[in-house]
Amino acid sequence: MLRSNLPDKWITWGESLPEYWSSIINDPELHPEIRDNTVTVYYRGAALIRNLSPSGDTFIGDVRFKYVPVHTTNGSEYLRFSGNAQGLRFENNLEAQNLGDCGQDVLNEYKRKMRSVVCYGESQVLHHVASHPANVIIDQEIPLQTTGSPTSEKLNLSHYDTQHQSAVFVKISMIHDPRLKADANQVPEIIQQLKRFREQIEKHHHAMIETSQRTVVIKRQIGLSERFEAIPPSEPSRLMKKVLLVIGGCSQQDIESVLNGKGEWSVFREAVEKEAAGLILCGTAGCPLVLEPGSQSLIFDTSVYNAS
């Protein structure tokens, strides 16, 4: 799991926010996430800004060139920028639209460019879930090194559930994902993945809770307090033992079929109850992450691990 640390200069910087950082944190569609000594800013589940970190008297970071409006490229995948009195400027004098002070018109151009590149269904659902005003997102794109997988597997979100006063990891899939289905007497691949996540949560829940707490503290220090008004001080101190599964891109017929385990969904419906905290189905416009039974959701196991 990612470590959440930032150098002291970040914290000091957060006490007197430069205009470009204020613009970023005031945009509800942008999600700054704490990485090890850096910050990554996500939009639609993709990194708009990577490796934002202090360097001497300024800040530096990277933007993937395909997200930059009106650009020429020197062949690099990422373009390095630095911050100064004129805002965020690319270092190589490229013919590109600089982020500058990250005014809303500039951010809108970058987001428009990203939408033209990051246009798959899961990114749209993830974006709307992460930006939903009822959801309290602690972190995004969380890698876990799971047993049986040669590389780390990612959980899409970490969310604070106010009803259960607990953090819960969220996995987002799409209704047409073939990993949701399997023949009789077989286990769907997505269920196998949920099992691996559950095992890692059981093994590392103390560190995960500590990381979540530290993430919330640091985000408050760097200007993101308003996003965590629903989280009491010193929280989250609990973590759900299982992952919440969200399936997007569903029609009303899909929702009824999955919830009732009809036809090709019978194997999935029986298996998901054993490995997920709950199941929420939605269209492409996202949904509130409410862990209670409803017309589009099922709740299975909301038991938690405590910090101590």
> In this predicted model, what pLDDT tens digit does every residue of 195-233 receive, in sequence order?
999 999 999 999 999 999 999 999 998 899 999 999 999
Contact 172, 157 (CB under 8 A): yes
Task: Judge contact between 246 and 276, C-beta under 8 A.
Answer: no
- Can you tell me the distance from the alpha carbon of 144 to that of 201, in angstroms, rounded to the nearest whole number? 9
Q: Where are the beta strands (DSSP E) in the chain?
A: 31-34, 39-43, 46-55, 58-64, 78-84, 87-90, 137-144, 153-161, 166-174, 238-240, 243-248, 276-281, 297-299, 304-306
Quick one: pLDDT at residue 149? 59
Cis peptide before 236 (omega within 30 of 0): yes
- Inter-residue contact 284 to 249 (CB < 8 Å): yes
Helix intervals (H) in the chain: 8-15, 19-25, 104-117, 121-131, 189-221, 252-260, 266-275
Distance of alpha carbon 269 from alpha carbon 277, whole angstroms: 13
How many other C-beta atoms lie within 10 A of the C-beta of residue 201? 21
Minimal CA–CA distance to 1: which of 34, 44, 46?
34
pLDDT at 33: 94
Rounded to whole angstroms, the Cα distance separating 260 from 276 reads 16
State phi, psi for 297 to the nearest 5 degrees.
-150, 155
Give pLDDT tens digits for 92-134. 666 677 787 888 888 998 899 998 888 778 889 999 999 999 9
Q: What is the pTM of this model?
A: 0.90
Residue by residue, pLDDT tens for the chain (308 residues) are 556 677 777 766 666 677 888 889 999 999 999 988 899 999 998 999 998 888 777 788 999 888 888 766 655 678 778 876 667 877 766 667 778 788 888 899 889 999 888 877 888 999 999 999 999 999 999 988 666 655 678 999 999 999 999 999 999 999 999 999 988 788 999 999 999 999 999 999 999 999 999 999 999 988 999 999 999 999 999 999 999 999 999 999 999 999 999 989 999 999 999 999 999 999 999 899 999 999 999 999 999 999 87
Predicted confidence at residue 182, as pLDDT, reads 85
